[in-house]
């Protein structure tokens, strides 16, 4: 119901409490009060309040208002069967009825103002419906009001003539000894003789005691699988599950609330393993024992688990005769064989763990189990509730699978925004569900469609599966919005629902047209291709009669099982837009010193470099290529007929001698490496802290040449990635700086990061100058200004404020004055101890400072502040060390680029491009430039997950603050749906396969929303609220 109200500050507070006619009356009052206001606003009035969960019922609305199976609804022909949603109302202890066919919320007592629903005895929790739709069961929790209420489908409406009002006494119910958690309906199947037992003790099924009832329910006669309906109920506080007979509960006299008759109890005895668990790691996360230093790495083995906690059942997921039960206290997901509900047997549990934090006790809340995919896979998704934010673990429970720990996915090192064994999003995960769907295309020959056919991309094929190929304009066939396959859906606390690729039937048609005929993965992440089934040779490309048979996306990894689904095609062209990793324009160079005009050859150059051939035995590189806006650029020595050098690409500049533009290339193997839009900056001697930190305290010992800078919150290792003169030796080794003659040590000293004090001295009227400095020191504010300069121009601070970092650890740096002149050359007159004494006097309180890279270029992080992802962390003793050797996830993390200088005289008029100069990293002659992947100075090629380039020094040395900046777009954007409210509190998610809708419950405002998986939009007239 919508009403237009004048704008008023009180509306929102009042309307939160408003309901039904009472709310209308309130609104009318407000109308009169605010009649002078000129800006009417539309306010939605809500009939649902604090919705929790939903169960769906198919109910006849004719003379026999009984329940039906869900696939018997709706009945469009006669409109006698309506699909109802039963929505728990946790704040009002009711169950609301939403008639999806009629598109309205049902008022079960029209004589009372406002909406009335079905009242139950306490706050409703879980709600389930029997397979034949005859009755629904609601678990209620309240202090000493715990129990289960049975709602016969015959009374899921307003009372008819002659019936009394629906109230607590309308329902059969029973009490439980503690609060019920999840409930599921199990079917106790007929015995071998075909007889159905009425109780677990073997008592024969009797005729239900429903005669004369106003709300009868006979489960023995309902549709669905034959057998006795049982309710399996978790009692978390008692650490167990109990089994109840559903019909027996319905047979109780309405209005009573005596103890439930428990037929069986299951104690959940799964033991936590006491021996270490071996995770199954993909090859790219295994530490190569042959790697130097690998012996010092911590073994990638989950520790033995010990826990004295008792199991606490949480979410349920039923798949056939197997029930998965999350555990709120133990790191297990219980697995129960419920083929005989009366004798459910616990099997080996699944073992939730965290690859990132193996010591953390991972507990689970909601769980979901997928259908068996056409390729024979089945997965359990379990919400890791103790993760921050809560995330989703994936277990492989396929037939024959013996893995019990969460799957650790390949390509983890290339997906910096996702843990390798988790689906994690910014907001918390509230619920998970699976959807399996297909639209079988009829076989032209037989007219019969086959479910689950994988798209056939092979150009010469004529199989029915070729019908799933994408159309040229992407309006049909394989594409992101065409959900054909098995997909996971993850409900997030911000009201979004993320789509997860489990098994996309169209995955084989989502790729580049090029064929990878080598034996190695190429730079687009394409694995070696195989010929079509029954063929022996590869096609030249995935093109048929000039039209691609695939989407021609930039990468082969746009779809990865159990990873978030992309919202768009990874294609950049004028038709689709910029959806693949793409440069918006050529990188721009900026010199912060406007007085220093540089000629073209004096500037440093940022330039693309070819990709190495995936086959290490082949030296011929793959031409550098990149999309700049919608145009492809490539480094093609000649038109050779094959993409990208087939005449379609424009020339990509790579040679610093001839190029006038800067450039770089974007690695394409993993689209999930890229955020949607990024604006990186590569800065010479860039700052690790932007803005400066304001809380550095410098501790100076009189006469000592070094001092300690304290900052307990700086996290110099983990967050900033500070390189001291020890840790940067790792970079020196990678750059092949020789150790002989102390060259590597000298290089390390020159390249270690340095502290730059960016703060001011105490104010001139500060009592410090009169009291402390005047009494104990000889410095004055004027002297401080003379030595350390003013701080007004942050881009031009005095070099006397620079302190080289000798040792870096989490909260402190050991520093010594850098002792350089303004031109960067050493200052022989500098006495470190005296400089530190002056710093001690001039910066007595906490001072602002930053840390800068030295004689190198620093790549900024995605947000434009600090450095890009790096592999530095606190090691033994707290010192900052490189960890990529032991942590393969950081293999591609780089933030620092080292220049290549041209040693030819024209390019180096000062003669400073010498390998013996500790400030120089890579030297190449003119013949070796441009740098190639296998050539001289190849070690100075920079490549991380989102950029590949070489920085060439200009004829004049680079100076602090010079920068290159560029913009990328077309990064990975996950496919999501969204609740139509700004401030949701989503609580649960479920799939209604009979109508193909995804149902989402929002506790705050929009109640029940139904999503159409064809459009990924909310189905009108939902949301119901």
Partner 1 sequence: MRPLLLLAAISALALSSCFSPGDGVAPPLNRLYFPTGVVLDSVNLDARGAPKFMYVASSDFDLQYRSSSLVSFDLARIREVVPVNCNSNADCTQDGTTCDMTATTQNGGVPSFFCVSADQDPCAGAAPQTEGQKLVYPGRCAAVDIDHPQDGRSSLLVDRVGIGAFATDMILRAGPQTAETVARLFLPVRGDATLHWIDVGTDGHLNCGQNNTDDQSCDDIHRAGNNPLENVNQIRQPSEPYGVDATADGEYIAVTNQTTGSVSLYSGGLTSEGPKLENILSGLPTAPVAIAAVPVPALSAAQKLSLTPSFLIAYRNAPRIDLLRVRGKDSSDAGHPALGYAGSVPITVNALGYDSRSLVFDTDARSLDYAECAKSANCAAPDQCEQDPGYLDCAKRARQPGLFVANRAPSSLLVGALTPDPNFLAGSSELPAFTDNIALTAGPSRVVLGRVRVAALASDPDAITDDGAPYKLERRVFVVCFDSRRVFIYDPGRRVVEARVITGRGPFALAIDDIRGLGYISHFTDSYLGVISLDQRFPKSYASIVANIGVHSPPRASK
Q: Which residues bind partner 1 (CB under 8 A)?
A: 9-10, 13-14, 16-17, 26, 29-30, 33, 50, 90-91, 123, 141-144, 179, 236-237, 328, 357, 359, 385-390, 426-428, 493-495, 694-695, 697, 710, 712-713, 715, 717-718, 762, 766-768, 771-772, 810-811, 840, 844-846, 873-874, 878, 982-985, 987, 1003-1005
Rounded least distance, CB 10 to partner 1, Å: 5
Using omega within 30 degrees of 0 as the cis cutoff, is the peptide bond preceding 74 cis? yes
CB 584 within 8 A of CB 969: yes
- Coil, strand, or helix at residue 999? strand
CA angle 615, 616, 618 (to 5 degrees): 70
Tell which residue, 611, 607, 678, 605, has the closest CA to residue 644: 611
Rounded least distance, CB 179 to partner 1, Å: 7
Half-sphere exposure of 892 (CA within 13 A, CB side): 18
Q: Whose Cβ is closer to partner 1: residue 874's or residue 895's?
A: 874
Q: Whose Cβ is closer to partner 1: residue 50's or residue 995's?
A: 50
**What single string gives the DSSP state of each residue in 19-59?**
-HHHHHHHHHHHHHHTTT---EEEEE--S--SEEEEEEEEE
Tokens representing 262? 């428990």
Q: Whose Cβ is closer to partner 1: residue 386's or residue 800's?
A: 386
Q: Whose Cβ is closer to partner 1: residue 644's or residue 844's?
A: 844
CA angle 474, 476, 482 (to 5 degrees): 100
Rounded least distance, CB 880 to partner 1, Å: 10
Rounded least distance, CB 699 to partner 1, Å: 10
Q: Whose Cβ is closer to partner 1: residue 779's or residue 897's?
A: 779
Indicate the burial class of 753 (C-beta count within 10 angstroms; 0-12, 13-18, 19 or more): buried
Rounded least distance, CB 663 to partner 1, Å: 35
Q: Whose Cβ is closer to partner 1: residue 427's or residue 824's?
A: 427
Q: Whose Cβ is closer to partner 1: residue 548's or residue 866's?
A: 866
Rounded least distance, CB 34 to partner 1, Å: 11
Rounded least distance, CB 866 to partner 1, Å: 13
CB 900 within 8 A of CB 936: no
CB 1019 within 8 A of CB 997: yes
The single-letter DSSP state of residue 741 is: G
Rounded least distance, CB 811 to partner 1, Å: 7
CB 840 within 8 A of CB 776: no
Alpha-carbon distance of 583 to 75, in angstroms, equals: 54
Rounded least distance, CB 766 to partner 1, Å: 7
Q: Whose Cβ is closer to partner 1: residue 101's or residue 689's?
A: 689
Rounded least distance, CB 711 to partner 1, Å: 9
Q: Whose Cβ is closer to partner 1: residue 58's or residue 815's?
A: 815
Indicate the burial class of 60 (C-beta count within 10 angstroms; 0-12, 13-18, 19 or more): buried
605 conformational bin, left if phi > 0, alpha if psi -120 to 50, beta if neither: beta
Q: How far apart are the first and last CA of the chain?
A: 9
Rounded least distance, CB 586 to partner 1, Å: 34
Rounded least distance, CB 713 to partner 1, Å: 4
Tell which residue, 454, 283, 278, 435, has the closest CA to residue 368: 435
Rounded least distance, CB 813 to partner 1, Å: 14
Q: Whose Cβ is closer to partner 1: residue 446's or residue 982's?
A: 982
Alpha-carbon distance of 350 to 403, in angstroms, equals: 8
Q: Whose Cβ is closer to partner 1: residue 769's or residue 898's?
A: 769
Tell which residue, 184, 486, 136, has the closest CA to residue 318: 184
Rounded least distance, CB 810 to partner 1, Å: 4
Tokens representing 824? 């960067």
Rounded least distance, CB 752 to partner 1, Å: 20
Measured over the CA atoms of residue 335, residue 336, residue 337 and residue 338, the dihedral's sign is: negative
Neighbouring CB atoms inside 10 A of 648's CB total: 11
Q: Whose Cβ is closer to partner 1: residue 267's or residue 389's?
A: 389
**What single string gives the DSSP state of each residue in 520-566?**
S--TT-PPPP-PPTT-SS--SBSEETTEESS---S-S-SS-TTEEPB
Q: Whose Cβ is closer to partner 1: residue 619's or residue 771's?
A: 771
Tokens representing 815? 């520093």
Q: Whose Cβ is closer to partner 1: residue 39's or residue 982's?
A: 982
Rounded least distance, CB 328 to partner 1, Å: 7
Strands 963-965 and 948-952: unpaired
Q: Whose Cβ is closer to partner 1: residue 65's or residue 984's?
A: 984
Neighbouring CB atoms inside 10 A of 981's CB total: 18
Tell which residue, 220, 120, 125, 107, has the closest CA to residue 170: 120
- The residue length of the chain stands at 1025
- Coil, strand, or helix at residue 65? coil
Q: Whose Cβ is closer to partner 1: residue 69's or residue 840's?
A: 840
The single-letter DSSP state of residue 748 is: H
Q: What are phi and psi of 939, to 5 degrees?
A: -70, -15
Q: Whose Cβ is closer to partner 1: residue 54's or residue 717's?
A: 717
Rounded least distance, CB 961 to partner 1, Å: 25
The position carrying tokens 């031109």 is: 823
């Amino acid at each position: 119901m919508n009403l237009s109200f004048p704008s008023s500050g009180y509306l929102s507070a009042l309307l939160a409490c408003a309901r039904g006619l009472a709310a209308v009356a309130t609104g009318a009052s407000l109308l009169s009060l605010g009649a002078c206001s000129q800006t009417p606003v539309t306010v939605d009035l809500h009939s649902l309040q604090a919705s929790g969960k939903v169960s769906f019922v198919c109910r006849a609305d004719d003379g026999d208002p009984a329940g039906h199976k869900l696939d018997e609804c709706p009945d469009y022909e006669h409109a006698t069967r309506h699909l109802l949603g039963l929505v728990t109302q946790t704040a009002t202890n009711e169950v609301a009825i939403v008639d999806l066919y009629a598109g309205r919320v049902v008022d079960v007592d029209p004589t009372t103002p406002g909406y009335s629903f079905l009242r139950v005895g306490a706050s409703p929790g879980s709600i389930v419906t029997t397979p034949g739709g005859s009755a629904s069961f609601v678990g209620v929790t309240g202090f000493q009001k715990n129990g289960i209420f049975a709602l016969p489908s015959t009374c899921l409406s307003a009372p008819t003539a002659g019936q009394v009002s629906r109230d607590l006494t309308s329902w059969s119910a029973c009490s439980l000894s503690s609060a019920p958690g999840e409930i599921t309906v199990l079917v106790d199947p007929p015995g071998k003789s075909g007889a159905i037992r009425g109780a677990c003790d073997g008592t024969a099924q009797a005729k239900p005691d429903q005669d004369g009832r106003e709300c009868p329910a006979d489960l023995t006669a309902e549709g669905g699988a034959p057998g006795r309906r049982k309710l399996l109920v978790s009692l978390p506080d008692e650490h167990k599950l109990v089994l109840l007979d559903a019909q027996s509960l319905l047979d109780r006299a309405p209005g009573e609330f005596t103890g439930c008759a428990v037929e069986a109890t299951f104690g959940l005895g799964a033991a936590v393993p006491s021996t270490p668990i071996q995770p199954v790691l993909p090859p790219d996360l295994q530490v190569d024992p042959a790697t130097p230093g690998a012996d010092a790495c911590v073994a990638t083995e989950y520790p033995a688990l010990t826990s004295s906690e008792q199991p606490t059942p949480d979410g349920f997921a039923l798949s056939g005769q197997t029930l998965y039960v999350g555990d709120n206290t133990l790191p297990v997901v219980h697995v129960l064989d419920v083929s005989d509900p009366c004798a459910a047997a616990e099997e080996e549990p699944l073992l939730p763990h965290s690859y990132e934090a193996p010591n953390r006790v991972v507990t689970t809340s909601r769980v979901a189990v997928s259908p068996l995919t056409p390729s024979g896979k089945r997965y359990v998704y379990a919400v890791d509730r103790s993760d921050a934010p809560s995330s989703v673990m994936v277990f492989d429970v396929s037939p024959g699978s013996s893995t019990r720990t969460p799957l650790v996915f390949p390509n983890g090192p290339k997906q910096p925004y996702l843990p390798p064994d988790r689906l994690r999003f910014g907001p918390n995960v509230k619920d998970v569900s699976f959807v399996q769907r297909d639209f079988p295309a009829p076989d032209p020959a037989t007219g019969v469609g086959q479910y689950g056919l994988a798209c056939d991309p092979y150009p010469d094929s004529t199989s029915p599966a070729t019908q799933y190929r994408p159309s040229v304009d992407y309006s049909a066939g394989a594409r992101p919005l065409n959900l054909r396959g098995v997909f996971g859906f993850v409900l997030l606390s911000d009201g979004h629902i993320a789509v997860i690729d489990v098994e996309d039937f169209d995955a084989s048609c989502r790729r580049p047209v090029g064929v990878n005929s080598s034996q190695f993965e190429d730079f687009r992440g394409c694995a070696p291709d195989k010929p079509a089934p029954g063929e022996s040779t590869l096609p030249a490309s995935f093109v048929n009669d000039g039209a691609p048979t695939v989407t021609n996306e930039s990468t082969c990894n746009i779809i990865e099982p159990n990873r978030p689904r992309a919202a768009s095609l990874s294609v950049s062209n004028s038709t689709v837009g910029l959806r693949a990793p793409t440069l918006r324009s050529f990188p721009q160079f900026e010199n912060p010193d406007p007085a220093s005009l540089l000629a073209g050859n004096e500037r440093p150059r940022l330039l693309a470099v070819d990709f190495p051939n995936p086959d290490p035995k082949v030296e011929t590189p793959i031409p550098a290529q990149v999309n700049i806006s919608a145009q492809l650029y490539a480094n093609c020595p000649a038109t050779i007929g094959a993409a990208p050098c087939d005449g379609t690409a424009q020339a990509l500049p790579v040679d610093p001698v001839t190029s006038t533009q800067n450039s770089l290339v974007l690695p394409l193997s993993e689209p999930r490496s890229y955020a949607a839009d990024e604006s990186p900056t590569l800065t010479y001697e860039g700052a690790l802290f932007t803005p400066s930190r304001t809380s550095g305290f410098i501790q100076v010992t009189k006469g000592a040449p070094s001092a300690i800078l304290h900052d307990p919150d700086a996290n110099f290792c983990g967050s900033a990635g500070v390189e001291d003169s020890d840790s940067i030796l790792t970079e020196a080794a990678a750059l092949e700086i020789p150790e002989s003659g102390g060259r590597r040590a000298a290089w390390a000293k020159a390249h270690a990061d340095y502290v730059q004090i960016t703060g001011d001295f105490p104010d001139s009227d500060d009592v410090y100058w009169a009291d402390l400095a005047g009494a104990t020191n000889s410095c004055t504010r004027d002297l401080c200004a003379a030595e350390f300069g003013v701080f007004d121009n942050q881009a031009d601070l005095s070099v006397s404020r620079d302190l080289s970092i000798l040792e870096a650890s989490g909260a402190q740096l050991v520093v010594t004055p850098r002792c350089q002149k303004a031109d960067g050359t050493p200052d022989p007159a500098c006495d470190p101890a005296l400089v530190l004494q002056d710093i001690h006097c001039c910066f007595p309180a906490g001072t602002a400072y930053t840390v800068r890279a030295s004689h190198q270029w620093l790549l900024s992080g995605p947000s434009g502040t600090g450095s890009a992802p790096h592999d530095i962390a606190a090691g033994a003793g707290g010192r900052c060390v490189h960890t990529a050797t032991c942590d393969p996830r950081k293999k591609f993390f780089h933030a620092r680029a080292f220049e290549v200088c041209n040693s030819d005289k024209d390019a180096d008029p000062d003669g400073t491009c010498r390998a013996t100069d500790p400030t120089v990293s890579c030297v190449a002659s003119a013949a070796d430039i441009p740098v190639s992947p296998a050539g001289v100075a190849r070690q100075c090629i920079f490549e991380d997950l989102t950029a590949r380039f070489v920085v060439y020094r200009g004829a004049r040395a680079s100076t602090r603050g010079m920068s290159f900046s560029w913009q990328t777009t077309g990064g990975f954007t996950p496919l999501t749906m969204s609740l139509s409210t700004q401030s949701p509190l989503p609580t649960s998610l479920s799939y209604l396969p009979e109508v193909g809708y995804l149902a989402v419950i929002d506790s705050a405002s929009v109640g029940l929303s139904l999503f159409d998986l064809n459009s990924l939009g909310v189905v009108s007239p939902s949301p119901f609220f």
